[in-house]
C-alpha cells in the first residue's frame, strides 16, 4: 500500500512540474502575435474579405487558459462602401486549466466590448453577408460529407462564469424599402451558468427607426432555467419594459411593461405563460396562456382580464379624437374578461363579460374557418340594458336651413346607383348563426324591452328574426329576409305590431304624436333591387291596420267643414279654439302595394259626430298622393263641434288630399258638395209641397165624405 501512495505522489509531483513548466515556457515560446498574418490569411481564404487586427493578441496559461483580442475589423462586402461589416474593440475568453484534465470545462466570464455590426441590403436585393454564406453553400456535397461533424468530447461538467457584452451597436439599412433601423448601446449581462441552476439575464438597448421615426429604450430581465436532459426551459419571472416615442406614435410617449412566467420545451411544441401582466397606454391586461403542438397543429387556450379604464380619458391622453356624445359621462367605464380556446382554424371566446358604463354584455362567440375570406361566426350574447341615445351626437337646437346642394345630391345618387345600397359581395360571403338578446333598449328615443334577434346568414341568404315583448304597451314580432344569391337582391319584410299605443310611440319616434290610440299593424312586403329608386319601384305586398279610441292630429275635419259651410252660406268663418285634431273611436284600413303604388279602398274612421270613408292612391316612387276622404256628419249632431253643422247632417262631404307626402294639402270638393246640398234641398222642398197638398185636399174634403172613406183617402195620400 505504501508503494502505491509513493507512486501516486511521484505522478502528482510530475504533473505539477509539467504545469509549472508550461506556465513558464509557453508564454516564452508561444507569441500569439506571430500568428497575425496566418489568421488574416485564413480569414481571407474562408470569406474573401480582409481582417484587420489593430490590437495585441494576449495569451495566458495558469490558472486560466485565456486569449484576449483587441481591435478586430472585418471589411464589408464589395459595393457596400468603406464602413466595416463588423468590428470589435475587445474580446476576452478564459478557461480554467486544471478542470480540463478531468474533462470539465470551467469558463471565466466571457467579455465582448464595442461590437459594431452593419447589415445592409442593396436595391437589387443583394445583402452584405451573401458572400459569407455562399462559400459554404458552394462546397461540394462529397467534401461536406468527408469533413463530417467533429466528434464532441464527452464532458463531465460545464460551468461558465458569465457573459458580458457591452457597448454593442447594430445597424440595418434596406435600400429596397428605405428602412433604416439601429440598435445602440446594447448591453447583455449573463450571470454564472451552472447546470441545473437558473441564470440571471439582463439586456438593455436603444432602438432607433428612421421611417417612421421611432425611438425606444428596451430592457429585459429574466432568470431562465435550462434542462437539456428533459429538453425544457422555464423562466419564473420575465420582465420586459419599453419606453418609446416618435412620429410613429403620433409624437406621444408610450410606456409598456410585460411580466410573465414561461415554461416551454426546446422542441417548440408547447409553451405556457403564467401570471401574465401587460401594462401599456393606460391599459392593464392580465391572464394565462397555453400553447400546444405549436409545430404540428397549434392550439391555444387561456383566460384574460382587461382592467376597468376610462376610454374617454385614454383617447384624449394619446391625442386621439373623442367621439362627441349626447352624454359626456359615457365611455368612462370599460372592462373586459373572457376565456379563449383556439387553433389555426377557429377561436372560441367563452364567459365573455364586457362592461360599458352601465351596460353589461355577456355570452359566447365562436369564429371558425379563419383561413376563409369571410370566417364563420356564431354567437349567443345578452345585453342587460343600454341607452344608445347617450352615445349618439348631441342634437342641436333649432333647424338648420339646408344649403343648395343639388349638384352634390345628384353626385351622391349617381355614386349610390353605381355602388348599390347593399354591399352584395360582402353579404354573399357571410356565414353567421347567432342569437342576441337585450333586456332594455333605448334608441332614437324609442323604448323597448325583451328584445331578441335571431340572425342566420349563409350562401347569400340572410334571415333576421325579431321579437320585442314590451313595446309601448304592446309587442312586435317579425322577420327580415335578404337574398343576394342572384343577380338582384331580394328583400322581404313581415312584421306584426299588436296592442301598441300609437301616441307615445310616435311622440318618441318623431317628436309629434300625430296619431293616438290603441292599435295593431301588420305588413308583408317584398321588393328587389339595389338602389332606393329600384327598391321603391319593385315594392309589392299588403298591409293592414286598426286603431281604437284615438285622434288624428294636425287636421280638424270639423273645422274644415265649418269653414266650408260658412263660405257656402256667405258667412264669415266662425272662430274656433278647438285643438287641431280629429277624434275617432275606430280607424282601420288595408292597402295593396303594386310596383311602388299603394292602393287603399277601405279606410274607415268613426268619431263622435263623423263617419269617414277613404280611398285613393299613394305613389311611393314619386312621393305624391291622390286620396279622397268622404265625411258624413251623423244625425245626432253631437261631439266634436257638430252643433254648428246642422245643415250638413247626413250629407257625404268629400275631402281631397293631394300633393307631396311630406306636405299633403287637404281641400273640400265644394262643387260635389254643392250638388249634394242642392239635391238635399230639392228633396226637402218636394216633401214640403207634398205635405201642403195633402193638407189642402184634406181640408176641402173634410165633412163631405163619410168618415170611413175619408180615413182611407187620408191614408192613401
Instruction: Report yes or no: 340 and 316 within 8 Å, Cβ to Cβ.
Output: no
Burial of 447 (0-12, 13-18, 19+ CB in 10 A): middle
**Tens digit of each residue's pLDDT (9 = 90 or more) over 366-383:** 999 998 889 999 999 999
**Tens digit of each residue's pLDDT (9 = 90 or more) over 440-498:** 999 989 999 999 999 999 999 999 999 999 999 999 999 999 999 999 999 999 999 99
CA-to-CA separations, 119 to 84, 170, 172, 268, in angstroms, rounded:
10, 8, 5, 28
pLDDT at 400: 41
Indicate if the pLDDT at residue 353 is higher than 60: yes
pLDDT at 11: 43
> What are residue 225's DSSP bridge partners?
234
Q: Tell which residue, 491, 489, 490, 466, has the closest CA to residue 476.
A: 466
Cell numbers placing 134: 455562399
Mean pLDDT, the chain, rounded, equals: 81
Per the document, the length of the chain is 717
Q: Which spans in 93-215 are helix H?
A: 97-100, 130-137, 141-147
Kindly give, in sequence order, each residue whose CB lies less than 8 Å from that of residue 18, ignoring residues fewer than 6 positions away: none
673: Cα separation from own chain's centroid: 62
Indicate if the pLDDT at residue 527 is higher than 90: yes
Indicate if the pLDDT at residue 692 is higher than 60: no
pLDDT at 648: 60
**Tens digit of each residue's pLDDT (9 = 90 or more) over 625-646:** 999 888 787 754 444 444 455 5
pLDDT at 489: 95
pLDDT at 713: 46
pLDDT at 696: 56
Burial of 182 (0-12, 13-18, 19+ CB in 10 A): middle
- Split at pLDDT 50, 70, 90, the class of 36 is confident
Angle at the Cα of 433 (from 431 to 436), degrees rounded to 5?
130
Phi, psi of 158 (to 5 degrees): -140, 130
**Tens digit of each residue's pLDDT (9 = 90 or more) over 269-319:** 899 999 999 999 889 999 999 999 998 899 999 999 999 999 999 988 877
Coil/strand/helix, residue 148: coil
Kindly give, in sequence order, each residue whose CB lies less than 8 Å from that of residue 411, ignoring residues fewer than 6 positions away: none
Round to whole Å and give the CA distance between 616 and 53.
Answer: 103
Ramachandran region of residue 147, left (φ > 0), alpha (ψ -120 to 50) or beta?
alpha
- Split at pLDDT 50, 70, 90, the class of 435 is very high
CA-to-CA separations, 169 to 87, 121, 188, 607, in angstroms, rounded:
10, 18, 12, 92
Indicate if the pLDDT at residue 672 is higher than 90: no
Amino acid at each position: 500500500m505504501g508503494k502505491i501512495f509513493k507512486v501516486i505522489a511521484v505522478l502528482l509531483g510530475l504533473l505539477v512540474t509539467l504545469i509549472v513548466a508550461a506556465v513558464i515556457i509557453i508564454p516564452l515560446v508561444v507569441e500569439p502575435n506571430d500568428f497575425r498574418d496566418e489568421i488574416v490569411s485564413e480569414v481571407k481564404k474562408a470569406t474573401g474579405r480582409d481582417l484587420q487586427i489593430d490590437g495585441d493578441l494576449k495569451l495566458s496559461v495558469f490558472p486560466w487558459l485565456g486569449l484576449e483580442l483587441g481591435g478586430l475589423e472585418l471589411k464589408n462586402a464589395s459595393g457596400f462602401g468603406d464602413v466595416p461589416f463588423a468590428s470589435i474593440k475587445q474580446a476576452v475568453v478564459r478557461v480554467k486549466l486544471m478542470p480540463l484534465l478531468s474533462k470539465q470545462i470551467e469558463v471565466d466570464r466571457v467579455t465582448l466590448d464595442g461590437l459594431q455590426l452593419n447589415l445592409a441590403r442593396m436595391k437589387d436585393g443583394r445583402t452584405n453577408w451573401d458572400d459569407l454564406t455562399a462559400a459554404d453553400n458552394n462546397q461540394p456535397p462529397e467534401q461536406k460529407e468527408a469533413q463530417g461533424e467533429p466528434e464532441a468530447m464527452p464532458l463531465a461538467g460545464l460551468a461558465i462564469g458569465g457573459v458580458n457584452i457591452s457597448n454593442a451597436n447594430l445597424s440595418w439599412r434596406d435600400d429596397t424599402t428605405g428602412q433604416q433601423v439601429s440598435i445602440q448601446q446594447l448591453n447583455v449581462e449573463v450571470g454564472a451558468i451552472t447546470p441545473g441552476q437558473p441564470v440571471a439575464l439582463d439586456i438593455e438597448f436603444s432602438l432607433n427607426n428612421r421611417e417612421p421615426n421611432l425611438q425606444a429604450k428596451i430592457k429585459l430581465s429574466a432568470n431562465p432555467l435550462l434542462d437539456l436532459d428533459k429538453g425544457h426551459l422555464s423562466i419564473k419571472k420575465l420582465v420586459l419594459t419599453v419606453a418609446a416615442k416618435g412620429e410613429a406614435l403620433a409624437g406621444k410617449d408610450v410606456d409598456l411593461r410585460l411580466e410573465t412566467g414561461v415554461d416551454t420545451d426546446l422542441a417548440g411544441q408547447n409553451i405556457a405563460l403564467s401570471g401574465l401582466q401587460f401594462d401599456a397606454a393606460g391599459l392593464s391586461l392580465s391572464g394565462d396562456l397555453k400553447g400546444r403542438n405549436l409545430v404540428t397543429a397549434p392550439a391555444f387556450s387561456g383566460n384574460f382580464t382587461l382592467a376597468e379604464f376610462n376610454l374617454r380619458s385614454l383617447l384624449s391622453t394619446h391625442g386621439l379624437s373623442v367621439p362627441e356624445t349626447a352624454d359626456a359621462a359615457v365611455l368612462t367605464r370599460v372592462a373586459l374578461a373572457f376565456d379563449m380556446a383556439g387553433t389555426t382554424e377557429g377561436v372560441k371566446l367563452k364567459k365573455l363579460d364586457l362592461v360599458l358604463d352601465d351596460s353589461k354584455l355577456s355570452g359566447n362567440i365562436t369564429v371558425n374557418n379563419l383561413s376563409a375570406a369571410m370566417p364563420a361566426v356564431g354567437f349567443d350574447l345578452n345585453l342587460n340594458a343600454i341607452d344608445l341615445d347617450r352615445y349618439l351626437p348631441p342634437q342641436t337646437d333649432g333647424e338648420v336651413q339646408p344649403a343648395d346642394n343639388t349638384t352634390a345630391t345628384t353626385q351622391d345618387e349617381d355614386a349610390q346607383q353605381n355602388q348599390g345600397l347593399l354591399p352584395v359581395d360582402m353579404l354573399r360571403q357571410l356565414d353567421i348563426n347567432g342569437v342576441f338578446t337585450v333586456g332594455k333598449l333605448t334608441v332614437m328615443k324609442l323604448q323597448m324591452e325583451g328584445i331578441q334577434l335571431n340572425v342566420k346568414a349563409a350562401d347569400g341568404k340572410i334571415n333576421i328574426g325579431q321579437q320585442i315583448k314590451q313595446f309601448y304597451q304592446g309587442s312586435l314580432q317579425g322577420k327580415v329576409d335578404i337574398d343576394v344569391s342572384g343577380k338582384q337582391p331580394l328583400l322581404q319584410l313581415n312584421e306584426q305590431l299588436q296592442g301598441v299605443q300609437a301616441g307615445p310611440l310616435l311622440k318618441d319616434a318623431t317628436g309629434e304624436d300625430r296619431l293616438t290610440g290603441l292599435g295593431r299593424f301588420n305588413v308583408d312586403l317584398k321588393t328587389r333591387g339595389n338602389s332606393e329608386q329600384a327598391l321603391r319601384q319593385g315594392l309589392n305586398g299588403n298591409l293592414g291596420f286598426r286603431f281604437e279610441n284615438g285622434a288624428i292630429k294636425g287636421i280638424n275635419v270639423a273645422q274644415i267643414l265649418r269653414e266650408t259651410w260658412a263660405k257656402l252660406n256667405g258667412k264669415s268663418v266662425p272662430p274656433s279654439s278647438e285643438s287641431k285634431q280629429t277624434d275617432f273611436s275606430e280607424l282601420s284600413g288595408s292597402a295593396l302595394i303594386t310596383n311602388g303604388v299603394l292602393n287603399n279602398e277601405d279606410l274607415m274612421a268613426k268619431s263622435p259626430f263623423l263617419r269617414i270613408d277613404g280611398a285613393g292612391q299613394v305613389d311611393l316612387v314619386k312621393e305624391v298622393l291622390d286620396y279622397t276622404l268622404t265625411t258624413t256628419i251623423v244625425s245626432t249632431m253631437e261631439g266634436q263641434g257638430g252643433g254648428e253643422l246642422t245643415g250638413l247632417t247626413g250629407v257625404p262631404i268629400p275631402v281631397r288630399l293631394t300633393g307631396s307626402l311630406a306636405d299633403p294639402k287637404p281641400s273640400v270638393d265644394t262643387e260635389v258638395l254643392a250638388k249634394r246640398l242642392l239635391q238635399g234641398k230639392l228633396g226637402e222642398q218636394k216633401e214640403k209641397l207634398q205635405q201642403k197638398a195633402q193638407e189642402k185636399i184634406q181640408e176641402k174634403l173634410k165633412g163631405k165624405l163619410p168618415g170611413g172613406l175619408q180615413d182611407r183617402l187620408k191614408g192613401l195620400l
